[in-house]
Structures are given as structure tokens and as C-alpha cells.
Homo-oligomer: A and B are copies of this chain.
Amino acid sequence: MHSKPDRSIEAGRRERLRIRSRDFSGPTAGLAPGNVQSNLVILPQALAHDFLRFAQANSKPCPVLAVSEPGDPRLPMLGEDLDIRTDLPRYRVWRRGELVEEPPDISHVWRDDLVSFALGCSFSFEHALLEDGIELRHMTCGSNVPMYRTNIPCRPAGPFAGPLVVSMRPLKPGDAIRAIQITSRFPSVHGAPVHIGLPAAIGIADLARPDYGDAVPIGADELPVFWACGVTPQAVIAQVRPEFCITHAPGSMLITDLVNSKLASL
């Protein structure tokens, strides 16, 4: 019915319902492009406080958009009708750090002690960059954004500790300055870059070999620009190996009712 992406405020809820009814099972990039999509981490209550402390202390890679009541599958701040058990196209279920299942619904593994964390995602600031006319190389290439482990440690909290992971977008210097201005307005979705121009200074030896995602070409007239990345908490959780954990599957994000522009601080 819609040949163009649906940019109305209701688009988020509509796409979420389509996913809930199993009408859609693909990656969520490009769906309801004006709406905030989020990373998902679900942990037992026994670990929830330490994880929230970790996110609070490392808000650039782990910007918290919403936290559920224990055992409650709703996140009404992000959507009145939202049910975290059914509203993502695909999940990953982890036991002691091992991936055991990638189901399209987690009702069968739901527990009364689970706490859901919705964490901001770079889709929101990428939307703002694209609207400003800035080219994003991984999109031009049709690949995943390249991501790298850095030598910058996160501030630990309880068992949660590990290095900051960054995503990289090559930009011409003028676009890099503009991208810093634009993303500074979005502190709840990673905010301004954490580094620019000198990858070795943050422990990245070879831009052609990302730790996650795909390498992208960088022009001689471009600088690599690095943002704190939502893969950071996933890498940290993989290291902690909690007895039970659920996350979104890569690219299968939670689509919320929030509008991207509402996240802008200015």
C-alpha cells in the first residue's frame, strides 16, 4: 500500500504489530524511519542493578531509553501496547554465555524475574545524518557498519567490565564537523563521536579488519570518525556469561513509538 517508507508517528506501532503478527521477520533497518529503534538486553533481576549501574557509568555506549518492572513484559514508555516477548522479529537466547536459540518469540522462555533494558541505537542519529545529506559509507556499500574493540576501558560495575566498542564512519572533514554538531544533539543515542582521525591512538591497528560488521573503503580525503557503539554491552555480557540472558538478534531491533527528533536535546 505504501510505496515510500511510512514516516507518520503511528508508523512505529503499525510496524510493531506487523512483526507481532509474524507478517514481517526481516531486519528492521528502514522500517518506520522517523521512529526510534532500540537495542534489547533482558537479564535476571539478580544482575539487573549491576547492569543498570554499568549503563549509567558508561552512558555513551549504553544509553538507557527504558527499563521494565521485574517480570513485566511491557515497556509503556516506548509504546502503550508494547510486549517485549513478541514485538521483535528475532531474539537471541543465551545460557552461561552460549547462544542456545534464535526464536521469533520469547514467550516460552519468559520468567517472572526478567528485567528488560531498551538501549539507544545508532539508527536514530544515522537518520539525522542522512536527512542532513551526509553519505554513510556502510549504507552505500549495503553492508554492516564496521565496529572495533578499543583500548578504552569502560567503567566497571559489579561483574560488568570490558573495553569500549566503537562504530566507524569515514567522512570528509567538513562532513565530520557537521556530523559532530548533529550527533551532539542526540545524547540518548550515543551522542557525539568519541574519537576522530587517529585510530592507533585508541588501539585500532587496522581499519580494514573490524572486530564486528564489515570493512568499508575510506577515501584519501576522508577521516575515520568513531562513535561509542551499542555492541559494547553485548560484548561485556558475553564476557560475564550470566546464567540466562536474552538480546535482540543483530539487525532485529525493537521499534518504538518515540520519534527520533524528540530525542534531540537542542
A173 and B176 alpha carbons, distance in the complex (Å): 12
Cβ < 8 Å to B, chain A residues 176-194: 176-177, 180-181, 184, 192-194
- Asked if B176 and A196 make an inter-chain contact with CB atoms under 8 angstroms apart, the answer reads yes
- Asked if A196 and B181 make an inter-chain contact with CB atoms under 8 angstroms apart, the answer reads no
Contacts of A221 in B (CB 8 A): 198, 201
A114 and B16 alpha carbons, distance in the complex (Å): 67
Is A85 located at the chain interface by the 8 A CB criterion? Answer: no
Interface size on A, residues (CB 8 A): 19
- Asked if A223 and B196 make an inter-chain contact with CB atoms under 8 angstroms apart, the answer reads yes
Of the residues B177, B193, B197, B266, contact of A192 by C-beta under 8 Å: B177
Is A195 located at the chain interface by the 8 A CB criterion? Answer: yes
How many copies of this chain does one complex carry? 2
Of the residues B176, B181, B194, contact of A184 by C-beta under 8 Å: B181
- Asked if B181 and A197 make an inter-chain contact with CB atoms under 8 angstroms apart, the answer reads no
- Knowing A181-B180, A181-B184, say if A174 contacts B195 (CB, 8 Å): yes
- Point out residues on A near B: beta carbons under 8 Å: 172-174, 176-177, 180-181, 184, 192-198, 201, 221, 223, 266
Given contacts A173-B195, A180-B180, A198-B223, 16 further A-B contacts (CB under 8 A): A172-B201, A173-B197, A174-B194, A176-B197, A177-B180, A177-B192, A177-B193, A177-B194, A177-B195, A177-B196, A180-B181, A181-B181, A181-B192, A197-B197, A197-B223, A198-B221
Contacts A/B (CB < 8 Å), 16 sampled: A172-B201, A173-B196, A173-B197, A174-B195, A176-B197, A177-B180, A177-B192, A177-B196, A181-B181, A181-B184, A181-B192, A184-B184, A196-B196, A196-B197, A197-B197, A198-B223
